[in-house]
Amino acid sequence: MATTTKRADFEAVFPTLAKDILAHAKKYNLPANALEWFEKSLFANTPGGKLNRGLSVPDTGLALLQKPLTDEQFEHLSILGWLTELLQAFFLVSDDMMDGSITRRGQPCWYRHEGVGMIAINDSFMLESSIYMVLKERFRSHPAYIDLVELFHETTWQTELGQLCDLITAPEDKVDLDNFSMEKYMFIVTYKTAYYSFYLPVALALMYLQLATPENLKQSHDILIPLGQYFQIQDDYLDNFGDPSVIGKIGTDIQDNKCSWLINQAIARATPEQRAVLDSAYGRKDKVQEAKVKKIFEEMELEKAYKEYEEKVVGELRAKIAAVDEQSGLKKEVFESFLGKIYKRTK
């Protein structure tokens, strides 16, 4: 039995969905040039990523049912997958503006496209609104409709809480490394990444298949949140140690004064001399200062520290997955497939 969704099958669902979204916009007599703008934004920002989150929805469905999906189940779970990708598109378009990022998925960030600029704020809102339009059009008569709507709303709220802390812990004009702590860090990554990237796709599949119970949602949560924390720690590691041509984005965390995993590790290890360099060089919009911080990260062998952390956390996650109670309707495979996709990732 095929246990994963073919990327091409999943991708084939997007054009129809996009057509529906655009047809909906047309109903409001949106002028042709605005419709064209929205279409460009929709296609530039939604497909084209790794699709890990989107594919996870039909993949979770397959793992839960342990048999091939019907055509209808595949279509519906893929649509829900694309809605997670639309949510991600909304977050990334706005996050890149907030972080002042340069590239995303190997292309200039959307706000840096010719003629786009601050209009990207509204474009990100329209990507978000499209989620609820599709939910209403496709799932209004599904018994879990309101659960699906509430799940998207709550997940968005959780991500915004994390983003708020991420941003205010990284003021542009006032660098104070004493503001950082691993406790704050864990809050930030749990909320800004883990809920929408890991809990959301699994909860969507459980709800759509009408298999969700408070117990199996809680059990999923307790594995997927640590998995998501690990994923964001990887993102922070790759921000400095990854290859921009592979990850498709240029790291900005040091210059952006981010409370990242690496700087928290560096603070814990720093000699007074290294700490003085970090205090004067971290969070400055300056390549020379950034290079000083990078040099300290190298000296401290944070790459090695990260790899040790990765082995430790993956061991813990494997033990948690092995202890999953399949009587609750869950399947270990749901979580194994997530872990398999991200373990030792380079992009």
Tokens of 236: 């922070």
First to last CA, the chain: 28
Nearer to ligand GPP, 13 or 224 (CB): 224
Nearer to ligand GPP, 69 or 93 (CB): 93
46: which DSSP letter? S
Whether 99 is catalytic is yes
Whether 258 is catalytic is no
Whether 95 is catalytic is yes
Residue 192's binding partner among ligand GPP, Mg ion, none (Cβ under 5 to 8 angstroms by kind) is ligand GPP
Per CB under 5 A, 290 contacts Mg ion? no
Q: How far apart are CA 297 and CA 289, in angstroms?
A: 13
Q: Which of 81, 42, 59, 69 is nearest to 3 (CA)?
A: 59
Residue 37's binding partner among ligand GPP, Mg ion, none (Cβ under 5 to 8 angstroms by kind) is none
The contact pattern for ligand GPP, residues 212-231, with x = CB under 6 A and - = no contact, is --------------------
Helix, strand, coil % over all residues of the chain, rounded to 5: 75, 0, 25
Whether 269 is catalytic is no
Of the candidate residues 45, 159, 190, 264, the single one contacting ligand GPP (CB under 6 A): 159
Catalytic residue among 231, 297, 335, 338: 231
Q: How far apart are CA 220 and CA 218, in angstroms?
A: 5
Please state the closest distance from residue 90 (CB atom) to ligand GPP, in A: 7
Q: How far apart are CA 249 and CA 102, in angstroms?
A: 7
Please state the closest distance from residue 81 (CB atom) to Mg ion, in A: 23
Q: Report the number of secondary-structure helices (H) and strands (E) in the chain.
A: 16, 2
Total residues belonging to the chain: 347
Of the candidate residues 41, 101, 240, 257, the single one contacting ligand GPP (CB under 6 A): 101
Q: How far apart are CA 293 and CA 267, in angstroms?
A: 11
Looking at residues 171 to 200 of the shown chain, list those that interact with ligand GPP (rule: CB under 6 A). 192-193
Residue 59's binding partner among Mg ion, ligand GPP, none (Cβ under 5 to 8 angstroms by kind) is none
Nearer to ligand GPP, 23 or 121 (CB): 121
Q: How far apart are CA 204 and CA 3, in angstroms?
A: 18
Catalytic residue among 59, 99, 123, 253: 99
Residue 240's binding partner among Mg ion, ligand GPP, none (Cβ under 5 to 8 angstroms by kind) is none
Per CB under 6 A, 324 contacts ligand GPP? no
Whether 192 is catalytic is yes
Beta strands in the chain (DSSP E): 103-104, 107-108
Catalytic residue among 10, 14, 90, 297: 90
At 183, give phi and psi (nearest 5°).
Answer: -65, -50
- Contact between 285 and 307 (Cβ < 8 Å): no
Per CB under 6 A, 163 contacts ligand GPP? yes
Per CB under 5 A, 256 contacts Mg ion? no
Identify the three-state secondary structure at position 108: strand
- Contact between 104 and 249 (Cβ < 8 Å): yes
- Which residues belong to the active site? 50, 90, 95, 99, 104, 166, 192, 231, 235-236
Binding site for ligand GPP (CB under 6 A): 91-92, 94-95, 99, 101, 159-160, 163, 192-193, 235, 239, 249
